[in-house]
Amino acid sequence: MMDPSKTVCGDNAMVEKESGCNTTSKIPEWLLKRDMERQQEIDRKKQERESQAVKEEKSSFFNSNFYTEKSSIDAMLQSCCSIPKADLPMHFEAMTVKLQQLQKFLNDSVMFLPSYDLRQAQDALQNLQDAMIEKRDELMPKKKFAFKVRKKEVSVPKEKSVLECIDGPKDKAMAPTMSVCGFSNVASQNLVKFSDDVNSKDVLLSNLSDCTVKLFGAPSTLHIKNVINSKILCGPVATSVFVDECKDCVFVLACQQLRTHSTKDTSVYLHVTSRAIIEDCSDIRFAPYSWWYEGLEKDFATAGLQRNTNNWNCVDDFNWLSLEAHSPNWSVIPDVERIKAWDS
């Protein structure tokens, strides 16, 4: 017989009758908190798995389409020798368009690609560009066309040939196009090009020292190579900007993608819609794009750049693999040190 001084509370607990009895058992607060934390951890891991699955699916889609299109361009390249000479310009133009579309596809995929896949794709694209340049040089010898200097442009000695429009870039590291315009082999000059010269074209700036260059307009791509102690200001670039072997410079750039190689002691005022990439660089400093000129907004529209998307301080350093420590090769320019007026 049950002791009358005791009663059963809940399912199993025996409590003193004098202390009273609740009709519902209470769960300790620490146990509730522990269960909540456990559930949150389960949800977090589930989201991570789902996110990783989405990234892997996107990466798989990219690799399949990228390398399929690359194979198509490779096939066009292999067929060049069987193309009648009169049809070669059109054939190379078609390859150029496909190559630019492939570059844009890569630019648009940068945000979700693993670093290894990104680098492999960029190297594959660069090798394809080099092969195309070599084949075109072999089958279509380059011709140079000199144009009269516009009144608005700064005149330079003719023997420097800095206002040429060249049928194909001289440097194999440059992207292949049917024409490249720009400035080369100039020292201590102020150089200018306007939208009529650069819109939808590839621009090459190479072997410059102690120069100031202003490019008003919306180029297709911009290549900056072997530039020393110079200032380059450029309107919105539709695709990529490639910087190589530069030192002690200031660049003001807007583009889909920036890739900087073997460059040091340089400041970059940047508007970029993907992520900036540096490799074999040191002492690179970044700040937001701050140049303004009449017609700038129209040039942004022409280039197709998103005005409200700027990842100027999102930089991937291919020489720094740590995710926990910041790369020592780049930094942000303090606000008090940033250039505010570019025309003074």
Tell whether 323 is covered by a domain: yes
Structural domain total, the chain = 2
217 and 87 inside one domain:
no
Confidence at residue 72, expressed as pLDDT on a 0 to 100 scale? 85
Q: Which residue has the higher pLDDT, 147 or 64?
A: 64
Q: Which residue has the higher pLDDT, 56 or 192?
A: 192
Tell whether 97 is covered by a domain: yes
222 and 276 inside one domain:
yes
Task: List the domain range (segments joined by +) for residue 181.
Answer: 144-337
78 and 226 inside one domain:
no
305 and 214 inside one domain:
yes
Which of these ranges, 84-98, 299-313, 322-336, has the smallest mean pLDDT?
84-98
38 and 174 inside one domain:
no
| DSSP bridge partners of 180 | 166, 202
Closest CA to 187 of 248, 228, 132: 228
135 and 173 inside one domain:
no
244 and 211 inside one domain:
yes
DSSP string, 156-190: --GGG-TTEEESS-SSTTSPP-S-EEEEEEEES-E
Tell whether 3 is covered by a domain: no
Per-residue pLDDT tens digits for 32-41: 777 788 888 7
What 3-state DSSP class applies to 260?
Answer: strand
Q: Is the pLDDT reported for residue 179 higher than 80?
A: no
106 and 195 inside one domain:
no
Tell whether 20 is covered by a domain: no
Mean local confidence (pLDDT), 313-333: 88
Q: How far apart are CA 179 and CA 158, in angstroms?
A: 20
User: Which CATH number characterizes residue 313's domain?
Assistant: 2.160.20.70
Domain boundary among 121, 139, 157: 139
Parallel/antiparallel/unpaired status of strands 180-187 and 164-166:
antiparallel
Q: Is the pLDDT reported for residue 308 higher than 50?
A: yes
Q: How confident is the model at residue 76 (pLDDT cuts 50, 70, 90)?
A: confident
For residue 258, give the amino acid letter.
Answer: L
Domain boundary among 106, 139, 172: 139
Q: How far apart are CA 48 and CA 69, in angstroms?
A: 31
Tell whether 159 is covered by a domain: yes
Q: Which residue has the higher pLDDT, 43 or 265?
A: 265
Q: Which residue has the higher pLDDT, 276 or 137?
A: 276
Domain boundary among 104, 139, 174: 139
186 and 245 inside one domain:
yes
User: Which CATH number characterizes residue 103's domain?
Assistant: 1.20.58.1250
126 burial (CB, 10 Å; 0-12 / 13-18 / 19+) is: middle
Closest CA to 227 of 273, 198, 265, 179: 265
Alpha carbon 115 to its chain centroid, in Å, reads 13
Whole-prediction pTM value?
0.55
Instruction: Name the one residue in this structure whose structure tokens are 């809940």.
Output: 10
Tell whether 15 is covered by a domain: no
Tell whether 117 is covered by a domain: yes
Q: Is the pLDDT reported for residue 287 higher than 70?
A: yes
Q: Is the pLDDT reported for residue 141 higher than 70?
A: yes
Confidence at residue 339, expressed as pLDDT on a 0 to 100 scale? 94
- Over the chain, what is the mean pLDDT? 78
Q: How far apart are CA 13 and CA 175, in angstroms?
A: 80
Q: How confident is the model at residue 187 (pLDDT cuts 50, 70, 90)?
A: very high
241 and 162 inside one domain:
yes
135 and 153 inside one domain:
no
H or E stretch including 128? helix 115-139
Q: Is the pLDDT reported for residue 65 higher than 50?
A: yes
222 and 189 inside one domain:
yes
Tell whether 150 is covered by a domain: yes
Q: How confident is the model at residue 170 (pLDDT cuts 50, 70, 90)?
A: very low
Mean local confidence (pLDDT), 93-111: 78
Q: Which residues contact 281 (CB under 8 A, 6 or more apart)?
A: 260, 261, 262, 263, 264, 317, 319, 329, 330
Sign of the Cα torsion 169, 174, 177, 182 reads negative
Q: How confident is the model at residue 167 (pLDDT cuts 50, 70, 90)?
A: very low
